[in-house]
Structure 1
């Protein structure tokens, strides 16, 4: 398994920051492969003889996921688990549950560590995490403390400065969208006459006063306007609505139902069984809309969701990004056959987008995609060294004010497309010279993207790997999916993008299998012949998958 070039860059910057500061935080959104990157950082540290590391998480499923990915990234390295069921430090890397490890009796058993990695590191300033961190440093003051998170700003406003002094790198949502790993948001700010009132809402320690927000937005005429605009812009889309209070959410949900739209309500006062049942209604298609109050902001991903409605502001940029992010995941056509998703509609009836700006405004692609050190700046409140692109300090929450002309710029998402053909670990070939069929191959796998009826289709296959549909939609998304397929099934040895033999003429054996009409192409290289043969041997499967995807497609709804 290989890392994407952007993932490798974050790993290098994280290791450099650990070497310089002894601690660091890396910020990367959902879908960026945080687990793969933390595994790569840990593996590099464990390359030292007798080194030991602990990867700390707060949920059982995270511990299992982290261990599985670690083994894929670092084959041959030993692992162990320290949780409620198993308490072992035998492995070079130990995957621990913070709830278990933070007990004093268990901390007393902990060996000397060289590295502590904290997944979901926005929890790092809480007492249980601090107990572990302090114990690690007490045994080895030179131990590295490395955190990774998608959402560094805590809801309670407490900063991370007491744990981390710097931010090594930040992969932004904008980068992920430009690289095809997420779909772009298309934002509409709809003024229903309350923007001025919302700007004067009182802030609490946690966020805006949501009761005051509800007194402004929870009105029948406003809710009717919400439904009207949703029907005009997103009536066929699976939709998540964010409201201010439970009463507000109930009224919005009831109004959608009265308007003939099946909607369900989810909030924190429901039992787990009720919440799961209502989300199942949304995910199985019985309900088109799920209305919620601060429940689906973080950690919920139903990828066919392609519309987000904001009926609440947020004082935190991170919360705003989390809400929009619920609709940005790409769709796996194997899991959701026929669903096509190319963008996410964001309908903002408040001031969140105006306050924080559209997410591409804080992207510095040159800074993030270049080699070497990430451009940085110092936070004026806490002194942390952070990425130049940060508009909200991940360690203390300081917000850099935008230039006045930036506020309210909410055109469609504009971003220079990253040229994945150049940045890929593999060489991609235009099979027939028409830019409608491209393939890349390795030792064990091949990937391709194919254009038909206005859409691109990503297909992946290989030795002992049945050809399968990876994505349908925009070219960049399909290229990213096919490239990830190759990264998942190949290694650095097989990513022979710059090997000299690639440019040599085809072998006699290759020429025997290449279609006769193409043998006269005296400019063909051995690698191009390899890609063409991969297509020829799998042509019927590729055609079947592409045609089937076109016959059965439906827009994400």
Structure 2
């Protein structure tokens, strides 16, 4: 057996001289049976997902024993297990648990300056970093089982190299254990594991009383995390997050919240998760200012000092223990009765790890109070309601239990289901309304709006929560204002570009309206410019090469002001009376003549233009069949064709391309309805 000089490790390794009897919990035996059955069925790379405090080490210690009894060995040969860990604390806990079950097991450590004698060992607990430099000692002949603790790390290159080198033939079973079988950097755990054979989460463990009850409180510290940088792992960059969270105001709120809860609940052992070392030290000083016995541990804290602090904390000599990323894994401190989350995260797995630190059962507590300090409006931040399946929860929690959160989830789900049913009924009504809309407007009219399809049409009837309403909502964006105005206007507007509109007045004189977007001080501003264009006489056009003389009517950021000036201009022109040829200005899209059938000459010209633009489509699937274009033109009215020809005179491609898409949409819609 290996002799080690480190006092703490030596004590953990050899303190137990008598086997401790331990009756497995029912779910622990189920997890073991699942693993044994999977391996027997040839599935060699498996995972077990179990909440913190569920006894992962107990499970795989017993699993080793059960697999050992099922694996045939020659006399004198050992069944040998390699347990991979990535932290010293995990190695110590694993060794201690193994020795609790039997002093007959030869358990050794491969970590740092401690080297194991492979052939003598039954169980080897090795740190991945040490094993990378000692892989020559290990192969498929002297290892029968590989267990990976905190297995959500298993797709790291270091783990893959260790496992692939030892298990080069793929015959050694590899079993991973983790409370959070997911990664935030999108690396697929399927690289290491084929199947998760057993899962038991925090909520289920609390309900079955294997973990203590959690009380969940959220404290809005009025922070905005929108500008905090995000790393490649899809979580906040700590230096950027620290600038937002490590402030005098927020730290004061944290301490005062703790003092209030300590008085109400007689808190004895509080674990605080901070952002970085600077945040840890600042908070520790704040707690001490209020006479609170607080200590901290960071990555640079010496091992002996860390052990002393943890031991004092376990013995209730320290009230508040502050850390940053140290106690998220491999920490067994069951007396924790409060967890302060001062480190917002986008990582579901990290939040589960932090919460799990306080949920172990202990005689000194009835529950653990989890207090989350974060701004309620921060999208993407994972919170306790998120873990319960309650998304976008913006209210504050006050000592809510898992049962109460579950009731809240059921209530929200019920309300959502009711809204879904209501939405379906409203959608049916809107379909009828959309059919009327299509009947009332010709195809070219539809090119004026941003909703030439039913889905786009529904956008105008959604409330602030995204649910449908039979009442058209008040337009809140300029685009919505434009859509409503152009469709309801009595003028024959056409769309000549994505942000440009026009309508003909008389003798090719016309009005144009443009929208320009200009950025000032990183803020985009929309400007509307209205102009009247007068066509020069033919002789002057020939001589000058200029067809139109424009005059600006208005330039404003108010859409309705621009529309009002245009209407005023038209009204003044109408009041001036007839022109010199006796023509009365009549700019109205509802004029009787517009309903008449288009002339053959007009139809021929439009056919020519539409077929030309249709032929420009690169994909054949995007092109309309000639018969469909012919059919559209055959039934077109004089008003619609006048609008199309006028628009294509100003912009030869854009309006015709949009028109072809609308025609295609209507044809496809009619074909679908015919099959229903």
Greater helix proportion: 2
Match runs of 1:194-209 below 5 Å: 194=223, 197-206=224-233, 207-209=235-237
Secondary structure, aligned partner of 2:402: coil
Tell me the distance in 2 between the aligned counterparts of 1:277 and 1:12: 39
Paired positions, count: 361
Decide whether the 8 Å contact of 2:107 with 2:123 is kept in 1.
yes
| Structure 2 residue matching 1:215: 3-state secondary structure | helix
1:537-552 correspondence runs (5 A): none
Aligned 1:435-446 pairs, distance under 5 A: none
Alpha-carbon separation, structure 1, partners of 2:385 and 2:101: 31
* Conservation of the 8 A alpha-carbon contact between 2:219 and 2:396: no
Provide the rounded CA distance (Å) in 2 between the counterparts of 1:13 and 1:123: 22
Whether the 8 Å contact between 2:116 and 2:124 is mirrored in structure 1 is no
- Secondary structure of 2:119's partner? coil
C-alpha change, 1:21 and 1:262, in structure 2 (3 Å) is same
Q: 2:241: which partner in 1? A: 213
Q: CA RMSD in A?
A: 3.4
Cα distance, 1:189 vs structure 2: 0.7
- Match status 1:33 vs 2:55: yes
CA contact (8 A) 1:214 1:248 kept: yes
Between the aligned partners of 1:161 and 1:322, the Cα distance in structure 2 is 21
Q: Secondary structure at the match of 2:176?
A: strand
Q: What residue in structure 2 maps to residue 441 of structure 1?
A: none
Q: Which moved more, 1:303-312 or 1:285-294?
A: 285-294
C-alpha deviation, 1:316, in angstroms: 1.2
Give the equivalent residue in structure 2 for 1:482. none
Cα distance in 1, alignment partners of residues 316 and 198 from structure 2? 39
Query: Compared with structure 1, are the counterparts of its residues 250 and 180 closer, same or farther at alpha carbon in structure 2 (3 Å cutoff)?
Result: same
Q: What pairs with 1:131-146 in structure 2 (closer than 5 Å)? A: 131-138=161-168, 140-146=169-175
Residue 120 of structure 1 is matched in structure 2 by: 150
Max radius of gyration: which structure?
2
Paired with 2:191 and 2:120, the residues of 1 have a C-alpha distance of 31
Aligned to 1:173: 202
**Is the 1:234–1:345 Cα contact (8 Å) retained in structure 2?**
no
Secondary structure of 2:349's aligned partner: helix
- Once residues 314 and 49 of structure 2 are traced to their aligned partners in structure 1, the CA distance between those partners, rounded to angstroms, is 29
**How big is the shift at 1:117?**
2.4
Residue 241 (str. 1) matches residue 229 (str. 2): no
SS in 2 for 1:21: coil
Alignment of 1:306-385 (within 5 A): 306-332=337-363, 340-350=364-374, 355-358=381-384, 362=388
Alignment of structure 1 residues 445-524 onto 2, 5 Å: none
1:222, distance to aligned residue in structure 2 (A): 2.4
Contact 2:50 2:177 (C-alpha < 8 Å) held by counterparts: yes
Residue number among 66, 71, 89 corresponding to 1:44 in the alignment: 66
Output aligned runs, 1:13-92, within 5 Å. 13-18=34-39, 19=41, 21-46=43-68, 47-50=70-73, 52-58=79-85, 59=88, 60-62=91-93, 64-65=95-96, 67-68=98-99, 71=102, 81=108, 83=110, 84-89=114-119
Q: How far has the Cα of 1:306 moved from its partner?
A: 1.0
Q: 1:261-294 deviations in whole A, cap 9, x for unaligned? A: 2322332233334444544554454432222222
Instruction: Tell me which of 117, 120, 124 is aligned to 1:95.
Output: 124
Partner of 1:426: none
The alpha-carbon distance between structure 1 residues 155 and 271, as it changes in their structure 2 partners (threshold 3 A), is farther
Q: Residue 440 of structure 2 corresponds to which residue in structure 1?
A: none
Distance 1:316 1:136, change over 3 A: same
Question: What is the TM-score with the length of structure 1 in the denominator?
Answer: 0.57
Q: d(CA) in 2 for partners of 1:405 and 1:328?
A: 25
Matched with 1:483 is none
2:225 counterpart SS class = helix
| Matched position secondary structure for 1:232 | helix
Deviation per CA, 1:455-511: give whole Å up to 9, x if none.
xxxxxxxxxxxxxxxxxxxxxxxxxxxxxxxxxxxxxxxxxxxxxxxxxxxxxxxxx
Cα 1:200/1:169, change in 2 over 3 Å:
farther
Alignment gaps of 5+ in structure 1: 333-339, 363-401, 417-557
**Structure 1: how far apart are the matches of 2:37 and 2:395?**
38
**Match in the other structure for 2:322:** 291
Could you tell me how far apart the structure 2 residues matched to 1:24 and 1:304 are? Answer: 32
Provide closer, same or farther for how the CA distance between residues 211 and 137 of structure 1 changes in structure 2, counting only shifts above 3 A: closer
**Structure 2 alignment gaps of length 5 or more:** 1-21, 405-676
